[in-house]
Structure 1
């Protein structure tokens, strides 16, 4: 107990040092004789430029900058005064208005013009005496010069201090009452793990073999990442570059996104309709993967995809129905077969695998499409998915199940009676029961607040590239390379630590540590020009937050009732997606009000809110209460 107290005291001291150094931060000089540069970025969610109207003077520059968008955009002036080029997911294009080019200019994003993605630039004449005006006298207010500010809304960290002191006291209190708040729940089960027969490696089914569980779930998560990365990044960008109109592209995106938006509807269906002889979830996974392969193969028969948009749209819809089905079925399978003490560790493997799949489908295929073409990218996916499909094809969930409908049962026992078939009325009654527990309801709340701090993600490119002078290539290499690797390492470390010390403990301690790192980052503005410092602090913040995320996923699995696992866990994941959307929508209003440092402080505060959401969740409540209600 004393050791933990010393650790938190050290973190507070680190905080104090950071605050002191922030008070002595140096001015970053700007050349006042140069014209002003105004950045215009994009809001891909609402298909808008941000801001969509700006006012400049002659000699000023407009810079169109966005990075890593899901959709490709460009900026083209109506009379071709400026043109950022073909639609791209990452753009860095500037245009300086020369003397005499005053007036009002309209520009559009060509793929999304029909959706109102237009902008206006008002250019005022340069004042006659502008070049002769004396330099303003030096300011006596040093505080205003000490900030690399997006806006002038600086809030000193001193105003945030009471909150962080309160959270420090709260974490210390939770540490002293760790048994009451279930911080060490995994440690309490360690003594029983070795004695659990299902933890052995004596069989080959998913229930019996830990190795089979890890291999199958990780392979399926790679398969989930590949099509999502391909559809949302590679394929959409290809069609935009090929000149598909805004209306047609919207049609495709609507059909492609719809199955993912309502994927939770699959939950009751896969819980209701089952083929017990082959397992609860495995038949649905095989159906989904077979459908994905068939649709991808069928796309190769389309002679010219950009001129057969309606047919491509139908295939988009069907393909994403199958990918969403696999996503829901795989999550339900994980809830069914993983042992309670495996959630943290195996989840880290699964989400790392999904990131790898996303890289393959998005960055990987998106890079080589210039060499092999769109059909070549599709052809490359098919053998990958076929190989992944072999994993569940030759695995069974439980002893006594069949590999195929015509084959003999594998192992001893029968599963027809073990897996009870239910109608929809019973399933919805079970869903009602599952969400009647306090921990299940708090799980919804936690899922809704986990990603509110994501408003900071779109801010980072502006800070690094606009203010600190990083090139777009440097930033992309860091974000898409080092930071992604650090995220994977954070997943792995978080899973291992959660298994050893308990998932809730890692969530609470890591969330508080992440908040301290984020606030420390914001306070040390004088070090932002140091590339090594920025790389290290960004990596640390990403690593620790990845440990938070992976253990929250595991916690959601622990409070999910396996009888409705396909519905309940998918519901939590849907709430997490909604949380990210809310976080991104907070970016514009917060950026309009505050400077960079204050944005870091706000993000740190929101990261600590996760502690409040997690502290009252009892990881064992669902299993304990259901054991009381249901006979053995």
Structure 2
């Protein structure tokens, strides 16, 4: 195994598997911070301050909106970059710095829990930054990860995001309750700022610049696959997305996010105003559940998906995600019971983790190097359309006094997408890439260098 630091030429991703995995871990870990803050800690802080489901849903929907629009990010990142620093790294560093600045801006504005417009604007801005970082690191993984690394890498990516979400949710709940929002969010900004410095230190390939004013040049492999015009980029992405196997992946990804959209919008009120939990008790539960799923996924996720089979694991997980909301909706009499609420959160987080851990390798198989950022982002971005749908479903069902309907709706979406998976079979990546690549001017692109 290659060492992370090589004498005279250090911290180059294509030369070190451990460095590649560490990089994915760190950036996905910091992705969890804005998610934990704006999907759980801030909604809990708002609910404790008297905000209702509709107000919380507005903030959560604003945080979700960039994730539904991030398919645009992929086109931008594939089309425009600064190749002397690598195809993806300039976007990753820039986005990471904006995450840090968005946290500090929220601390500076210091809104009260009922200032929904201001909080929603900050949630939107922070998640715009996160989506660009997410697309950048995802496309970097497609560029440089070996096929045999991907099942484990996908599990590790999602596990590290959950660990970051867990830490941010727990720390946010504790800090906001003890010191208030400004001090709490300022303290949390230290983590993305530190990882931003790590992003400056690494390089994608040998000979590249770390920063625009340092020495280095564009790598030959990046020059050969870079698409410098909109027409072939859009055509390549369209050709890659048209096959039925690609189309089926989109509702599968979206169905999981519908169920999460319901949880994010409705659970803060359910826990703090109906079940009698404090803000920190709710955020502690979300944090502990995310931590449990993240650690279990980090240790066993990749192995389990490989052992069961990627597609079979996805089918099992998505039908599990259909069964849980249905059971929750059928048992409203238990909604105030601590054991029932805890069990649901833990079980759903674990199943939802395995949906992504098994779906991401399938998405990566479908990606063609020349349009990887655009194509992979289309999968993930369209999949995130489910979250605002779940937010709206929760606000509507709670508004008419029938909250069970939001859980039945989330269950139905998962069941339908899971059924579609029973009638198709996903081949290995090589056959898909060759079938699409022969229609593109760029060809197949460059195979990542092995350790």
TM-score (norm 2): 0.72
Deviation at 1:305, TM superposition (A): 5.8
- Following the alignment from structure 1 to structure 2, what is the Cα–Cα distance between the partners of residues 452 and 541? 12
Residues 46-79 of structure 1 show CA distances to partners (whole Å, capped at 9, x for unaligned) of xxxxxxxxxxxxxxxxxxxxxxxxxxxxxxxxxx
Provide, for residues 528-575 of structure 1, a one-character-per-residue CA deviation record: whole Å limited to 9, x for no partner.
Answer: 999879866875565345323321133222222332222222222233
Does residue 1:618 correspond to 2:426, yes or no? yes
Match 1:389 to one of 196, 200, 225: 196
Residue of structure 2 in register with 1:553 after alignment:
360
Equivalence for 1:334: 141
Deviations 1:154-204, CA, capped at 9 Å, x for gaps: xxxxxxxxxxxxxxxxxxxxxxxxxxxxxxxxxxxxxxxxxxxxx865864
Match of 1:472 in 2: 277
Q: Evaluate the alpha carbon distance shift between residue 599 and residue 266 of structure 1 in structure 2; reply closer, same or farther with a 3 A threshold.
A: closer
Post-superposition shift, 1:284? 0.8
Deviation at 1:279, TM superposition (A): 0.7
CA RMSD of aligned residues (A): 5.1
Say yes or no: does 1:442 pair with 2:248.
yes
The aligned residue for residue 154 of structure 1 is none
| Count of aligned pairs | 426
C-alpha spacing 1:431/1:326, structure 2 compared with 1 (3 Å): same
Among candidates 287, 290, 297, match of residue 484 of structure 1: 290
CA distance in 2, matches of 1:451, 1:254: 12
Secondary structure of 1:472's partner?
A: coil
Q: 1:479 to 1:256 in 2, by over 3 A?
A: closer
Aligned equivalents of 1:281, 1:545: Cα separation in 2: 28
8 Å CA contact retained: 1:274, 1:421: no
Retained in 2: the 8 A contact 1:490–1:546?
Answer: no
Q: For structure 1, list consecutive stretches of 5 or more residues without a partner in the other structure.
A: 1-198
Question: Is it true that 1:353 corresponds to 2:160 in the alignment?
Answer: yes
- Select the structure that is richer in helix: 2
SS in 2 for 1:418: helix
1:562 to 369, 377, 387: 369
Report what 2:26 is aligned to: 219
Describe how 1:535-546 pairs up with structure 2 within 5 A. 539=346, 542-546=349-353
Structure 1 residues 366 and 511, CA gap change in structure 2 (3 angstroms): closer
After TM superposition, the structure 1 stretch with the greater mean CA deviation from structure 2, 376-385 or 537-546, is: 537-546
CA distance in structure 1 between the partners assigned to 2:144 and 2:13 by the alignment: 6
Distance 1:531-1:522 versus aligned 2 partners, 3 A rule: same
Q: CA deviation at 1:392?
A: 1.6
- Show the counterpart of 2:186: 379
Largest Rg, 1 or 2:
1
Change in Cα spacing, 1:490 to 1:254, as seen in structure 2 (3 Å) is closer
Distance of 1:358 and 1:576 partners within structure 2: 19
Quick check: which one's strand share is greater? 1
Q: Indicate conservation of the 8 Å contact 1:335/1:565, yes or no.
A: yes
- Unaligned 5+ runs, structure 2: 446-451
**Residue aligning to 1:424:** 230
For each residue in 1:291-320, what CA deviation from the matched residue of structure 2 results, as whole angstroms up to 9, or x when unmatched? Answer: 343455566666x767x9999998776555
